Amino acid sequence: MTETLRPRTPTRLLDVDALRGFALFGILVVNLAYFASGYPFHLVADPAHGSWLDDSVEFGVRLLFEMKFYLLFSFLFGYSFTLQLAAAGRAGANFTTRFVRRLGGLFVLGGLHAVLLFQGDILTTYALLGLVLLAVHRIQSRTAVIAAGAIVGVVAVGMAVAALAGVELVTDQEAALAAGRASTDALAGGLGSVIGEHLRSLPTMAGSLAVQGPLALAAFLVGLAAGRRKLLADGLGRHTGALRRLELVGYPIGLAGALVFAIGGGTTNLAGLAVSVLTAPLLVSAYVATLLRVFATPRGGRLARALAPAGRMALSNYLGQSLLGVLIFTGVGLGLTGDTPPAVVPVVAVGIFAVQLELSRRWLTRYRYGPAEWVLRAVTNAERPQMRR
């Protein structure tokens, strides 16, 4: 592979935006299943769809996507934090005040997102964890990586102990199926019914974030350490060997762990989850290593430039994905919830993301920020930013 390096713009890092765009796609593939059916919220399969194709596609999503892409998104959150910190230092701004305002705006947007669009929102968790990141942002890079490893280890051991103790996440299959049917019917209803289902599901989703939250914090810390060392800003010249080693280690171990996770039924199995917690970071690292090497080639550079606009508008696109999920699947829109086979859901995700790529490109030719980014920037700086270029 010829690794021709491309020039960097001084204000943004193309690879960071492109990786964020890639993460958005993976998150969409996972999240869209929760719009297509109410059963996944209750950790059971929709009995209306059980063909070999549906099962195969769901297995593939568990293998390659679930428990992976939010880690990449979280890593990039931590990395971008260092870029914001550096920019604030150059501007002589009060970074702490501005960042706290930013987190407050993110929390409000996340709360509205959870109630109106998708109860599986991650923004409120990011806003709270951002306060932790701010509190420890002077931590040494080596200490940050060690702390991240410790967090991952504690979560994995806790799950393994629970699995050995016979703890089951679904204790009553029939009750879970009945709850899945009720959730599917609610999502197929009107706006009031959909919002009501979101509100009822919030405690359950908060419980799942008890796992995702610590792992996201661990990824924040690794991103912080990587940002300190400017690992995505210096080109591949001195990192090529490290990237290849990440691929050589990350793919075999990461895919083996993902296979255990997928065979065990994904998030329904504590033992499989424990394995995934330990190995998913390696698989994500391998994904990143491969993408960075691809982005450094002429053809890969075109791919990076195609993904980057979506990454620059990540917040708007994340919220937009949920809005489109509501309009396509729930009774607010086309009412396809419960009637869409799992094999079709990733195809819909590809279509949505393709539209977002083109809309993001066109939007950014005329405007400086995405709509949600503009709102968050206004809250952060306590002023009205200039929108048009």
pLDDT digits (tens, 9 = 90+) for 74-118: 999 999 999 888 887 665 568 899 999 999 999 999 999 999 999
Does residue 4 carry a pLDDT above 50? Answer: no
Q: List Cα–Cα distances, 56 to 51, 63, 284, 338, 346, in angstroms.
A: 9, 10, 22, 18, 12
Find residue 388's DSSP bridge partners: 367
What pLDDT is attached to residue 149? 97
Torsion of CA 86, 88, 91, 96, to 10 degrees: -150
- Say how many residues make up the chain: 389
Sign of CA dihedral 365, 370, 371, 374: negative
Residue range 194-216: mean pLDDT, rounded: 87
Q: In the structure, what pLDDT confidence band is assigned to residue 161 with cuts at 50, 70 and 90? A: very high
What are the pLDDT digits (tens) for 61-70? 999 999 999 9
Mean pLDDT across the chain, nearest whole number?
A: 91
Residues in contact with 213: Cβ distance below 8 Å, sequence separation at least 6, in sequence order: 125, 128, 129
Q: In the structure, what pLDDT confidence band is assigned to residue 221 with cuts at 50, 70 and 90? A: very high
What pLDDT is attached to residue 93? 64
Q: Dmax of the chain from CA atoms? A: 60
CA 281 to chain CA mean position, Å: 13
Q: In the structure, what pLDDT confidence band is assigned to residue 202 with cuts at 50, 70 and 90? A: confident
Q: In the structure, what pLDDT confidence band is assigned to residue 124 with cuts at 50, 70 and 90? A: very high
Does residue 2 carry a pLDDT above 50? Answer: no
Residue range 193-222: mean pLDDT, rounded: 90
167: which DSSP letter? -
Of 212, 194, 226, whose CA–CA distance to 325 is shortest? 194
What are the pLDDT digits (tens) for 320-351? 999 999 999 999 999 999 999 999 999 999 99
Residues in contact with 185: Cβ distance below 8 Å, sequence separation at least 6, in sequence order: 38, 338
Asked if residues 370 and 360 have their Cβ atoms less than 8 Å apart, the reply is yes
Q: List Cα–Cα distances, 276 to 124, 157, 160, 255, 271, in angstroms.
A: 24, 12, 11, 10, 9
Does residue 8 carry a pLDDT above 50? Answer: no
What pLDDT is attached to residue 288? 95
Residue range 138-166: mean pLDDT, rounded: 95
What pLDDT is attached to residue 91? 57
Asked if residues 337 and 33 have their Cβ atoms less than 8 Å apart, the reply is no
What pLDDT is attached to residue 92? 59
Residues in contact with 178: Cβ distance below 8 Å, sequence separation at least 6, in sequence order: none
Which amino acid, one-letter code, is at 314?
Answer: A
Q: How many CB atoms lie within 10 A of CB 334?
A: 12
Q: List Cα–Cα distances, 290 to 57, 127, 353, in angstroms.
A: 23, 30, 21
Q: In the structure, what pLDDT confidence band is assigned to residue 240 with cuts at 50, 70 and 90? A: confident
What are the pLDDT digits (tens) for 167-176? 988 889 999 9
Asked if residues 373 and 315 have their Cβ atoms less than 8 Å apart, the reply is yes
